[in-house]
Each structure stands twice: as structure tokens, then as C-alpha cells.
A and B are shown apart, each in its own frame.
Chain A
Amino acid sequence: MKRITRKSYALPYAVFLALFVVIPLFLILLYALTAPDGHWTLQNFAKFFSQTQAVNTFVYSLGIAMITTMVCILIGYPIAYILSNPRYNRSQTLVMLFILPMWINFLLRTLATVALFDFLRIPLGEFSLVFGMVYNFLPFMILPIYNILQKMDKNLIEAAQDLGANPRQVFLKTTLPLSLPGVASGIMMVFMPTISTFAIAELLTVNNIKLFGTVIQESINNNLWNYGSALSLIMLLLIGATTMLTSREGSSREGGGLW
């Protein structure tokens, strides 16, 4: 009988990865490149690019995801900056409060948001969609920026002051560039889920606005597995490209991670 080596401990994880990551990805690729009758084809991709409506939805989703990410940066960065500055915040409590919503299931949160908009008689639409997404994903932007700002060597700020930088210049020339890896992680954490989301869009626009995620979900629901897989693959490639873009910035400096 073969001896149990250290390598054997990795086996369960290998099985897990194979079953739930590698094989599904392979299946998506397979379905995307075949027709329902099983022969190889690029027809699924051709179908997507020939349908203006599908491409429009894709571009629209991209736009919404970018706006959401942008709004998250604009709101999240100042919050992270204030939280990490001991002059304004000495306790972990405030940080906790900003993360607290993450404890609640996002579907519940989103349903609550719908109820809130109904109560305030604000029509559900683009605004409520972006609001819901920002509300859901803001903590993912705040945390990595907060972490990197907090770990930053305070001597660097003093060094910049010492060299003649006024507070604005200190921020623009030192704090901001040094915190960019955190912003990059934040972008990844927000952009990736927003581009593929469909539940938030469904609930917060009463299914009036279709996002790319919705289209994929509908295709799969309507048994258009091959077309749906092709769309998923396009989305995966897009997310892959974003990851590569942001991680190049992120990996060059340590300490930009989420936690």
C-alpha cells in the first residue's frame, strides 16, 4: 500500500477544484463552442454580435458597473481616509459600522431597499439600481483602501511635509499614489460582481432594466445553454482582463489585499 505523504492532504482540495471550478469552466467552453446538436461552431458568438439588443445590454451593463465602481470610489475613498486617520477616528467601532451591512444577506438588504424606495415613492429605475449596487458593494471598496491607508508608514507623510509639501501636495504626491493598490483591489471587488449581477437588477428595477447577467440567466432558463455559455465566456474574459489590469498595479506593492 502506498504511504500517505504530505501531498495526499491536498487531494480533497484538488477534487474540489476539479469538480467545482475546472470542469464547469470546461463545460462552459464546450457549450459555448458547440451547437445544440453537438457539432463545433462559432455561431453562438456570431448570434451575440449580430443582435444589436444583446450588444447594447452588454455595453449598458458595462456602463452601470463602471458608474457603480466610480461612485464607490468617490464615496469609499474619503470614508476610508477618514476612518484610517487617527485624528478623526480612534476606534474600530466606526469601521465596524461600515462593514455591518455585510452581515445581512444581500437579498434581504436589496428587498429592504425596494421597500424603502416604495415608501419614499421614488420610482424604481436606473437610480435605484445604481443606489442598490453601491449600497451593496461599498464595503468592498472601503475595506482594502482603509487597510492600505492604515498600514501606510506615517513617516512618509512627515517626510513629504518636511520636503515642503503642503497638505494638498502631501495627499496628491504621497498618500494617493501609495494607496492606489488598495483602490485597485477595491475596483476588482466591486466591478466583478456588479458586471455579472442580475438579482439586484431584477428586484430594484422590477425587471424593467436588463443587465448582461439577466440575459445570461434568461438564456439558461430558456434552455439556450449554448448561447448562455457563450455570453458567460465573454463576461469571464472581460472580468479576466480587468483582473489582469488591476492586479498588475496591485501586485507590485504588497499590502493591497482585502483583509
Chain B
Amino acid sequence: MQELTPIIEIRQLSKHFNGKTALDQIDLSIRKGEFVTILGPSGCGKTTLLRIIAGFEVPSSGDVWMEGSTLTDTPPHLRPVNTVFQRYALFPHLNVFENIAFGLKIKKVAKISLDKKGCEHTRLTGLSPREIEKKVKSALKMVGMTGYEFRDVDSLSGGQQQRVAIARAIVNEPEVLLLDEPLGALDLKMRKDMQLELKEMHRKLGITFVYVTHDQEEALALSDTVVVMRDGRIQQTGSPIDIYNEPANAFVADFMGESNILDGTMVRDHLVRFADTEFECVDAGFGENTPVEVVIRPEDIYIFDNNEKGMLTGLVVSSLFKGIFNEMTVRVDSFEFVVQDTRNYEPGREVGLIIRPADIHVMEVERTQNRFEGSLIDAEHVAFLDGVFECTLPSELSSLEDIKGTPVQVDIRFHRVILHDNEEDGIIAGEIAFILYKCDHFHLTVHTDSGEDIYVNTQDVWDVGDRVGISVKPRYIKLSVP
């Protein structure tokens, strides 16, 4: 029942709030009848994107197109979309029936009638009370709330309010239904039930669903297409299986569930090296000796009693019972692997690990070191990231006569950046924005106060949101002519 024609096309869409970028050059095409989930952590811009489609926010630049015409100048009440709000937003002064009938009572439909001379007249009229009642009843039936027509919305449970909110939206027969974390306020059991019902509703209605959530399980379970967002940008668009099995980058891999992410090197086609070991893999086309990132899902690592067959041998550090499987942490030299298996190996046991070539997913790395634009202050100082750092000039630069203000390219290796507990101890300061565990170290993204990000590899444990001071030893600041 899916058609290939796009119903919504988003082109070059950006949105800034008071100088902060919420959405950055978003391009997205949504097919008619599709169940699309926009997935991402809080603050990634997913709700803003939904609000722009609904018309509650005006984009700073770019356009939303619907069925071939731009929506930019269309106010929310004229858009053929309806929204299910995060906290329901049911009208407290109206009962269940009146809430659902709200849109129907406003709606004007074209009625064609013949006058005495036989000429056709098109008249805009409201729906008759009987039509409204019929539609409300069928919407209530759809969400399993028959018999609740005259209840006060305040007397309903969270799940019931959610159902009414969905009924209120679908009763208007929108072309596109927008859902803003509709299950966020429900408990786990209720959420699982509602997921199934939403999926069923989507099948029955045949309309396009655009669903916003931060819950990756929900996204995988419900969607035809998942759009993963981070910091106002789309990271990856694809089917749930693609997104899970072939994540485009470490962020997506990490966000889509428990995974082992490691730095590695593509030795040559079909051979990758990580954790000080070479593995056969199915990936090719990266070139020789190229730095890559490797993702292995915990359920794809085979664990067994240590014998000669293991590709890696290690020690079980911890084991957690998670219901249908045990989640074990296995230390292999300095690397920690998370392994899921139905069998349990007690902490302290020596085990062997095997990873099949098809289960090793190799990704291109986005960057191998920090690179900034800087400018020289004098022979011993360079300014970048709104800070002045000591440095030593390479010979190609020290021969310059007037070096003040000379633009330079600054390169710093990830593990050479030093973070300080006290902001004052660093040359510049920032806030830790994102942490990725790479089996033997943490890869941190730090938003510096200048607005640019600096990436740091460290063994130390930090928390997202920590304020830190940042410094770099002079000898590790590599300068070159850009």
C-alpha cells in the first residue's frame, strides 16, 4: 500500500533560535503512506522539525513542500496535517466527545447541490451533527475508547488521554499525522501495547505517520524509515534493519543500542585490525591502512570456555542477568567487550571470543584528529578556539618576518587534549556534550565556549554536562600553513 511519491519534501531547512542552530540544512523526503520516525537524543532538533511541518515554527531558511506546493506561508490551521501532542493537550473545558469533535465542528466541506434550473452550486457547509457523531464514534472505536464519549478528560488515565488525543487527530482524516513523543509519558507496559496499536492504526488508516521519539527500540519496532538526528543534522536515514546493522557512524551505532565501538585500521580489503588483532571482514573499498571505526553488536560475539579456538581470549569482569540473556563484560588486554549470551560465565572465568566476518561492521571515521583555524600571535603563541596557546613554530613558519596575524592550521591529536576539573586550570573552557566508549578509552565531544567542538580521547570518566578546562601541551600543537 505504500506509494513511492513523496508527500512531504523538506529542502535545505534551517532553524536558528537566538543564534543557536536547532536545525542545520535538513533535507528529507517522506513518502506517502510511510511510517517515518525521527529519532534522536533530546535537543537534537527533532521536535523543532515536527513543529515546522505542523506550522508552529517558521523556518529560518529552506522550505517544506507538501504534494508539490510549498507550505511556508500556510498557517497551521490550513495545513492538511494533524498533531498528537507530547502531553496530549486535550481541552479541559470539553468532554471526550467534544474534544474529538473540535476539528469536525470547524471543518467546512464542499457540498454540491443542483438548483431549480439544474445548475451546480458548490457550497461550503459544516458537517451535520449526525455525521460528526458517526465520525467521532468510529474514531473512538479505532482507539478502543467506545463508551467514553461523555467522560471529563481530567478523569481519564494517561493512556486513555493519549488515545483521545490520537482519536482527536485522526478523526479529521489528515494526510499526515504528526506524533510528538506520544508515548513518552506512559509506563513501559502501556507503551508496548500502544506501539502495537499505533502500528495497526497506521496499517488501517493508510496515511503517513511522522513520529518523533528518543526511544530507539520504539523507532525500530514501528517504522518503515528511521531518521537519526543529532545536533540539528540528519545522521542517517534508512530502514530499521539498515540503521541497526549498518550504522553510518559511531553516534548512530551507539544510539541504536548497546554496541562495541572500537578504533581500528583497515589493513586491506576484507581485513581489519582492532584490539591488537587482525580479523577477516566483509567490508572493502576503504583503501589500505585506513583508520576506521568498527562496530560489533554484543549479541554477535560468541563466548565459550577458553580453548585454542578463540580469536580473542579474555577474563569475564562482570555479568548481569537481563532476562532472556546475560550481559557480560569481557576484558581482553586493555579492551573491554560487552557480550550478550544466553549462557552465563561467572566473573573471573577465562573465556574465548569469536566474531564472524559478517558481524564486523566497518565505518569510515569522520575525523582522525582535531583541526582548527588559528592565527599566530608571536613566535611562541597561537590563538584558536578563542584562547591563546603556547606553541613552538615549525621551520616553515619561523622564517616569516611579520608573523603576527598569520593564519595557520592547528592540528591536535585526540589523546593530547588535557581536560581539567577546574575551568580556571585550562586555557579555554567547555562543556562535555557527548561521550562514546570505545572499549579501551572514552571519546568525548566537548562544546568549547567559542562554539566549536573539540574531540578528546581519555581514560578518565567524565559526565555529559560537566564543565571542564581545556589545555594542550605546546609540543602537541602542530601548526602548518593552510
A binding-site residues for B, Cβ under 8 Å: 153, 155-156, 158-166, 169-170, 173-174, 177-178, 253
Closest CB-CB distance, B34 to chain A, in whole Å? 21
| B151 contacts across to A, CB distance below 8 A | none
| A159 contacts across to B, CB distance below 8 A | 83, 85, 89-91, 168
Known: A163-B82, A164-B106. A156 touches B89 (CB 8 A): yes
User: Residue B103 at the A interface, CB < 8 A?
Assistant: yes
Taken together as a complex, chains A and B put the C-alpha atoms of A173 and B104 apart, in Å, by 13
Chain B, residue nearest A166 (CB): B77
The reply to whether B91 and A174 form a contact with Cβ atoms under 8 Å apart is yes
The reply to whether A158 and B85 form a contact with Cβ atoms under 8 Å apart is yes
The reply to whether B89 and A173 form a contact with Cβ atoms under 8 Å apart is no
Chain A, residue nearest B178 (CB): A162
Q: Which 9 A-B pairs have the closest CB atoms?
A: A163-B103, A155-B89, A159-B89, A161-B76, A164-B106, A162-B83, A177-B93, A161-B77, A164-B77
| B169 contacts across to A, CB distance below 8 A | 162-163
B66-117 contacts to A, CB under 8 A, are 75-78, 81-83, 85, 87, 89-93, 102-103, 106-107
Chain B, residue nearest A161 (CB): B76
The reply to whether B87 and A158 form a contact with Cβ atoms under 8 Å apart is no
The reply to whether A163 and B168 form a contact with Cβ atoms under 8 Å apart is yes
SS class of chain B's interface: helix, strand, loop or mixed? mixed
Closest CB-CB distance, A168 to chain B, in whole Å? 10
| A158 contacts across to B, CB distance below 8 A | 54, 56, 76, 83, 85, 89
User: Residue B172 at the A interface, CB < 8 A?
Assistant: yes
Taken together as a complex, chains A and B put the C-alpha atoms of A166 and B103 apart, in Å, by 11
State the interface size on chain B (CB cutoff 8 A): 24
Taken together as a complex, chains A and B put the C-alpha atoms of A155 and B85 apart, in Å, by 8
Taken together as a complex, chains A and B put the C-alpha atoms of A164 and B473 apart, in Å, by 61
Query: Could you list some 25 contacts between A and B, CB below 8 A?
Result: A156-B89, A156-B91, A158-B54, A158-B56, A158-B83, A159-B90, A161-B56, A161-B75, A161-B76, A162-B54, A162-B76, A163-B77, A163-B82, A163-B102, A163-B103, A163-B106, A163-B169, A164-B77, A164-B107, A165-B102, A166-B75, A166-B77, A170-B77, A178-B91, A253-B93
Closest CB-CB distance, A145 to chain B, in whole Å? 16
Chain A, residue nearest B102 (CB): A163
Taken together as a complex, chains A and B put the C-alpha atoms of A78 and B93 apart, in Å, by 21
| B90 contacts across to A, CB distance below 8 A | 159
Taken together as a complex, chains A and B put the C-alpha atoms of A170 and B56 apart, in Å, by 14
| A177 contacts across to B, CB distance below 8 A | 93
Taken together as a complex, chains A and B put the C-alpha atoms of A83 and B414 apart, in Å, by 52
| B168 contacts across to A, CB distance below 8 A | 159, 163
Taken together as a complex, chains A and B put the C-alpha atoms of A72 and B461 apart, in Å, by 62
| A165 contacts across to B, CB distance below 8 A | 77, 102, 106
Taken together as a complex, chains A and B put the C-alpha atoms of A47 and B309 apart, in Å, by 113
| A173 contacts across to B, CB distance below 8 A | 102, 106
| B76 contacts across to A, CB distance below 8 A | 158, 161-162
The residue among B54, B56, B93 with the most chain A CB atoms within 10 A of its own CB is B93
Chain B, residue nearest A152 (CB): B92
The reply to whether A162 and B77 form a contact with Cβ atoms under 8 Å apart is yes
Chain A, residue nearest B93 (CB): A177
Partner of B172, one of A153, A156, A163: A163
| A156 contacts across to B, CB distance below 8 A | 89, 91-92
The reply to whether B92 and A162 form a contact with Cβ atoms under 8 Å apart is no
Taken together as a complex, chains A and B put the C-alpha atoms of A160 and B168 apart, in Å, by 11
Closest CB-CB distance, A165 to chain B, in whole Å? 6
| A164 contacts across to B, CB distance below 8 A | 77-78, 103, 106-107, 172
